[in-house]
Amino acid sequence: MSLSEKKFNKVLTGILVVVVVGIVLVGAVFGRSIVEKIIKNKEAQEAVNEFDNRIASRATRSSTSQNATNEVENLTFDPNLFANETTQEQSSNSIRAKQTYKGYAVAGKIEIPKTKLNMVVLDRSTKESMEIAVGIAYGPGLNKVGNTVILGHNYRNGDFFSDNDKIEEGDPIYITDSETGTKVKYTVYNKYVAGSDEFDYATRDTAGKREISLSTCTDDVKSRLIIWAKED
């Protein structure tokens, strides 16, 4: 084998080593990102399950309390009655206690059938909170009269508000608030792209109705995809 051939083989071997190492590193990073996404989605689903369980428990207690009120005339004095009431009140307070998710208060839950989104809504939108869920950026609060803006990231991978571009006028959005446990249906009636410095959509007059606005970024960092929806 000539000297030039040996040099060529060494260069070729070096290139192959670099390529193999690169593939291994890329695979490791890609694999790690997949695992992180699985864990993140699992945690988000657990938060939704906890929210649903809290609302269901509250509804059960409300029904039980109403039945007890209807039968109060049939009660006879029980020395343990007040102790039982205290225990029940403590349990009720536990159910009503504010749910938190990774240190942030949960204001409610949002469901968008078109994009298959089902996740908790945090009571605020900060740089840190938006990494874990969508949150309220402006307004009176979930299911309250007026316009409440819900802000979420567009990760372009199906997470959070990534698929909001698929939402169309007439599509339903469901909001359940943690304060009352009420689930309200909203119907989309406007969708457009606005500049990142525009905010008039948030302060609009809703004429005494409950409305929500979903806001997320587009591929252009200087613009936002805005969706309006009003209660049925």
Segment 161-219, tens digit of pLDDT? 999 999 999 999 999 999 999 999 999 999 999 999 999 999 999 999 999 999 999 98
Full residue range of the structural domain in which residue 45 is found: 1-97
> Rounded distance, CA 37 to CA 226, Å?
26
* CA angle 189–231–170, rounded 5-degree value: 30
Query: Measuring CA to CA, which residue among 113, 117, 97 is closest to residue 51?
Result: 97
Q: How do the pLDDT tens digits run along the chain, 232 residues long?
A: 565 665 656 666 667 666 555 554 544 444 555 766 687 788 999 999 999 999 998 877 655 555 544 554 554 444 444 344 444 444 444 445 789 999 999 999 999 999 999 999 999 999 999 999 999 999 999 999 999 999 999 998 889 999 999 999 999 999 999 999 999 999 999 999 999 999 999 999 999 999 999 999 998 888 999 999 999 9
CA 153/CA 218 separation, integer angstroms:
10
**pTM of the shown model:** 0.73
In this structure, are residues 112 and 173 in contact, taking their beta carbons and an 8 Å threshold?
A: yes
9, 85: one domain: yes
Residue 42 CB-density burial (10 A; 0-12 exposed, 13-18 middle, 19+ buried): exposed
Same domain as 192, residue 107: yes
* C-alpha 7, offset from chain centre: 58
Q: What domain count does the chain have?
A: 2
Domain boundary pick from 45, 78, 97: 97
Domain match, 118 and 211 both? yes
